[in-house]
Amino acid sequence: MEKLKAVLFDAYGTLFDVYSVGLLAEQLFPGHGNALGVLWRDKQIEYTRLVTTSSDGAHYQPFWDLTRAGLRYACRRLGLALPAAAEERLMNQYRHLSAFPENREVLQALKAKGVTTGILSNGDPEMLGIAVRSAGLEGLLDHVLSVDGIRKYKTHPDAYALGPAATRLEARQIAFVSSNSWDALAATWYGYRTLWVNRSALPFEELGTQPTRTGTSLRDVLAFF
């Protein structure tokens, strides 16, 4: 197989823990924090697919706006009143999600090997910039790629095409890492060599394709090298 020259990471769920907002949600809505975090994330992703596939993307909205819409829906679904102050606290928390502890170690190891590194994410540029700075990862990433410029979310092939365009490499020369099974699957279909980071011991998607590798942390990407 052709030698890998770059690694692109999904951001939300992979580098940054999207469910870390559940701690604040539990403070604001005792007994509902976990349910709110899960439903919020599910609706956020559902909205990305809806605005991408409807009317050729004519209804596109930035990821930040879809994140807010997902929060509002989740609260309504759970019967939770969402005061403006609570909404802003939760949205601000989403800007500063907890980073997984192995991030720096893995990125430093890849850079030491001369591997090009980057993020390829649904997040809009401002969101990603804040998250990367909050985690102290600025100097360890060669690319921070957002789908916002093309107005199409993953799993649209044009979203995955941002990687080869930015790195000037073929997809088969790039490893794509995601903890979201749907993302790892679509990236495999696109032509990347993929690592699915299965932190929760979940089954993979039942659509006849497997990721190149499956692991339990970001450290498993180093096995490609």
pLDDT at 180 over 90: yes
Domain extent listing, the chain: 6-16+98-224, 19-95
The whole-model pTM stands at 0.94
Architecture of domain 19-95: Orthogonal Bundle (1.10)
What 8-state DSSP symbol labels residue 6? E
Alpha carbon distances (Å) from 205 to 130, 183, 198: 32, 10, 12
Residues with a known catalytic role = 10
Q: What gap in Å lies between CA 208 and CA 198, rounded to an integer?
A: 18
Mean pLDDT, to the nearest integer, of 150-162?
97
One-letter identity of residue 100: F
- Residue by residue, DSSP assigns 187-210 as HHHHT-EEEEE-TT-PPPPSSS--
CATH 3.40.50.1000 fits 6-16+98-224, yes or no: yes
Per cent of the chain over pLDDT 90 is 90
Q: What gap in Å lies between CA 27 and CA 139, rounded to an integer?
A: 34
pLDDT at position 188: 98
pLDDT at position 57: 78
Lowest mean pLDDT among 68-77, 111-120, 128-137, 161-170: 128-137
CA neighbor of 15 nearest in space, from 162, 87, 123, 91: 123
Averaged confidence pLDDT in the chain: 95
pLDDT at position 2: 79
Per-residue H/E/C for 93-161: HHHCCCECCCHHHHHHHHHHCCCEEEEEECCCHHHHHHHHHHHCCHHHCCEEEEHHHCCCCCCCHHHHC
pLDDT at 1 over 80: no
pLDDT at position 55: 80
Mean pLDDT, to the nearest integer, of 8-26?
93
